[in-house]
Amino acid sequence: MRSRLRQGVVGAVTTAALVLSPIALAGPADAHGGKDPAHKLVKAVSGKNVKKHLWALQAIAKAHGGTRVSGTPGFDASRDYVAGKLRRAGYDVTIQPFEFTFDGYVTPPVLKRTSGEQKTYTYGFFSDYVAMQDSPAGAVSGTLQAVDLVLPPGPAANSSSSGCEASDFAGFTAGNIALMQRGTCSFRIKVDNAIAAGASAAIVFNEGQDGRTEIDLNPTLGGPGVTIPSFFTSFAVGNELAATAGTTVQMNWDPIVETRTTYNVIAESRKGDPDNVVMLGAHLDSVQEGPGINDNGSGSAGILEVALQMARTKPKNKMRFAFWGAEEFGLLGSQHYVDSLSAEERARIALYLNFDMIASPNYTFGIYDGDGDAFGTAGPPGSDVIEEDFEKFFAGRGLPYTATAFTGRSDYGAFIAVGIPSGGLFTGAEVRKTEEEAAIFGGTAGIPLDPCYHSACDTIRNINDRALDVNADAIAMLAGTYAFATGTIGTAAPAPAARAAAEAHPHHPADSAS
């Protein structure tokens, strides 16, 4: 699941912060009664087999520098693994190439404290630090020099004006690395003042008040012209670096922006009504920082295993399984696919189901809010039925569930924007679990639903087996049901609120202000 502003063949997009709804406790029911095709499929799909695919994706990442990001051999190997499995199962498989703007780095970023007790910090959003947008490349080692810091932070945001005035740098030693605090003025003003004072690099850390501690924004320097590498860190990192005068650090930023080719994998059943297509999708790519086993190996592995088991059936409706490329660069694969369809081809898609992170270690069972009653943003007509059908599954297991908003944050966005009923499951990313959620779902309050979100630690160890198994069954239940009857679900004009959410994507816009 993407979070950072990216640009590619379909342009720039952002995403909206996920907010969880009030939680509904499902009542007990019999989820496994009957011998219909859906229940048979649920029985055939096991979490153990889903996890075998995750082990394969983990091995692919390990063999390719720890990542499966689009535009690299790690993604291409993931593509070949999925496509090979599906072809051998009897699906018609299409590899759909498209170009995009790869915005990443050549060598891994470095921020390391080299004096005293040495420490290497972790790169990535919701981790320790990121490079600011428009930061130039650079490798610097030097002494940190604090610039007008307010520690502990003041009671209100923007109590710090660190680096906002040239006078803040009085006595600054040329060649040192400027350590500044967020607040009052833009990141660009702070860094420009540091350059004028002779700094060799700049580190700005979040200010420290409630809501201003983590790397939860996309810091930008507002355009070209900056001449020193510039990082943004969490408050904890900055406060730690400021604790000892004369601390030395090593910094390295080696960015690359270039056009690359990546791929969607589309697998279609040979049987079934081509005028009533049931489509399931998950993004196959990871971020560059890690192997992406929960985000989104879990969703990809879930729909892959459902597809493999479903290959033994003869569905009444055409089944189509999509594994998207370049989701982490702005939902580019799914958008490219939908844009490539004619109006007639879109009209044949009865519904789309999206699965992006279904095994978060500190999970909740989230169901997309198709009717909009929890968040006020409904999907196209028919999305409400999909939500209700997922709710019936969890009710049948006696399991709690909660609504998750259509924020435009994942690959359903392109589908709801053109009126295709959509739904899906989501177990959570960087949002912290509440006390109420911990009481209902278990897990730990106060930490993210996925503590390794967009990080190197999103490995096979970052998977909750129970969430993976339950959600794989839920996918199988709805896929098996809709393969034979989609009922009242069909295409219609997109709901205005859903279209707005799909097109706005307001999560992590570039933020130049402190």
| pLDDT value, residue 218 | 85
Cα–Cα separations (whole angstroms), residue 361 to 20, 329, 406, 452, 461: 17, 24, 22, 9, 9
| pLDDT value, residue 513 | 63
**pLDDT reading at 184 higher than 90:** yes
DSSP 191-238: HHHHHHTT-SEEEEE---STTSSS--SEEB-SSS---S-EEEE-HHHH
| pLDDT value, residue 212 | 94
CA torsion through residues 388, 391, 395, 397, sign: positive
What percent of the chain is predicted at pLDDT more than 90? 85
**pLDDT reading at 7 higher than 70:** no
What's the mean pLDDT in 369-396?
A: 97
Helix (H) or strand (E) holding 54: helix 47-63
Instruction: Point out the least confidently predicted range of 12-21, 100-109, 123-132.
Output: 12-21
Helix (H) or strand (E) holding 60: helix 47-63
The C-alpha atoms of residue 473 and residue 159 are separated, in whole angstroms, by 51
DSSP assignment letter at 183 = B
The closest alpha carbon to 338, from 428, 425, 424, 422, belongs to: 422
| pLDDT value, residue 124 | 87
Q: Residue for token digits 């088991």?
A: 309
What's the mean pLDDT in 302-308?
A: 98
Asked if 405 and 21 count as a contact pair (C-beta separation under 8 A), the reply is yes
The C-alpha atoms of residue 299 and residue 302 are separated, in whole angstroms, by 5
Cα–Cα separations (whole angstroms), residue 206 to 121, 129, 147, 191: 15, 10, 14, 15
323-359 pLDDT tens trace: 999 999 999 999 999 999 999 999 999 999 999 999 9
**pLDDT reading at 440 higher than 70:** yes
Tokens representing 195 are 């350059």
| pLDDT value, residue 146 | 98
Cα–Cα separations (whole angstroms), residue 473 to 43, 308, 320: 8, 14, 18
The C-alpha atoms of residue 489 and residue 492 are separated, in whole angstroms, by 9
What is the phi/psi pair of residue 28, to 5°? -70, 145
Helix (H) or strand (E) holding 409: none
Domain ranges across the chain:
20-104+258-508, 107-253
| pLDDT value, residue 227 | 97
DSSP 105-172: ESS--EEEE-SSS-EEPPBSTTSSEEEPBTPPPEEEEEEEEE-S--SSPPSSTT---TTSSGGGGTTP
- Spatial neighbors of 434 by CB under 8 A, at least 6 apart, are 20, 445
Asked if 393 and 413 count as a contact pair (C-beta separation under 8 A), the reply is no
User: pLDDT class for 496, splitting at 50, 70, 90?
Assistant: very low
CATH architecture of residue range(s) 107-253: 3-Layer(bba) Sandwich (3.50)
**pLDDT reading at 20 higher than 60:** no
**pLDDT reading at 9 higher than 50:** no
| pLDDT value, residue 216 | 79
Which among 207, 214, 268, 327 is annotated as catalytic?
327
The C-alpha atoms of residue 485 and residue 487 are separated, in whole angstroms, by 5
User: pLDDT class for 2, splitting at 50, 70, 90?
Assistant: low
What's the mean pLDDT in 490-494?
A: 47
Tokens representing 168 are 């803040």
327 is catalytic: yes
Instruction: Point out the least confidently predicted range of 215-224, 255-264, 316-325, 339-348.
Output: 215-224
Tokens representing 300 are 């990809």
How much is the CA Rg of the chain, to the nearest whole Å?
24
Query: Three-state DSSP class for 20?
Result: strand
**pLDDT reading at 270 higher than 90:** yes
Instruction: Point out the least confidently predicted range of 156-160, 164-168, 397-401, 470-474.
Output: 156-160
Asked if 403 and 377 count as a contact pair (C-beta separation under 8 A), the reply is no
138-160 pLDDT tens trace: 999 999 999 999 999 999 999 99
- Spatial neighbors of 272 by CB under 8 A, at least 6 apart, are 314, 315, 316, 317, 318, 319, 483
User: pLDDT class for 510, splitting at 50, 70, 90?
Assistant: low
In the Cβ-directed half-sphere of 257, how many Cα atoms lie within 13 Å? 9
- Spatial neighbors of 300 by CB under 8 A, at least 6 apart, are 53, 57, 78, 82, 282, 283, 284, 323
Alpha-helix residue ranges (DSSP H) falling in 348-464: 383-396, 413-416, 435-441
CATH architecture of residue range(s) 20-104+258-508: 3-Layer(aba) Sandwich (3.40)
| pLDDT value, residue 35 | 72
71-108 pLDDT tens trace: 999 999 999 999 999 999 999 999 999 999 999 999 99
User: pLDDT class for 507, splitting at 50, 70, 90?
Assistant: very low
User: pLDDT class for 512, splitting at 50, 70, 90?
Assistant: low
The C-alpha atoms of residue 419 and residue 398 are separated, in whole angstroms, by 32
Instruction: Point out the least confidently predicted range of 20-29, 151-160, 224-233, 445-454.
Output: 20-29
The C-alpha atoms of residue 35 and residue 153 are separated, in whole angstroms, by 63
The closest alpha carbon to 317, from 142, 107, 483, 489, belongs to: 483
**pLDDT reading at 175 higher than 60:** yes
41-57 pLDDT tens trace: 999 999 999 999 999 99
**pLDDT reading at 113 higher than 90:** yes
Predicted TM-score (pTM) of the model is 0.88
Beta bridge partners of 92: 268
User: pLDDT class for 125, splitting at 50, 70, 90?
Assistant: confident
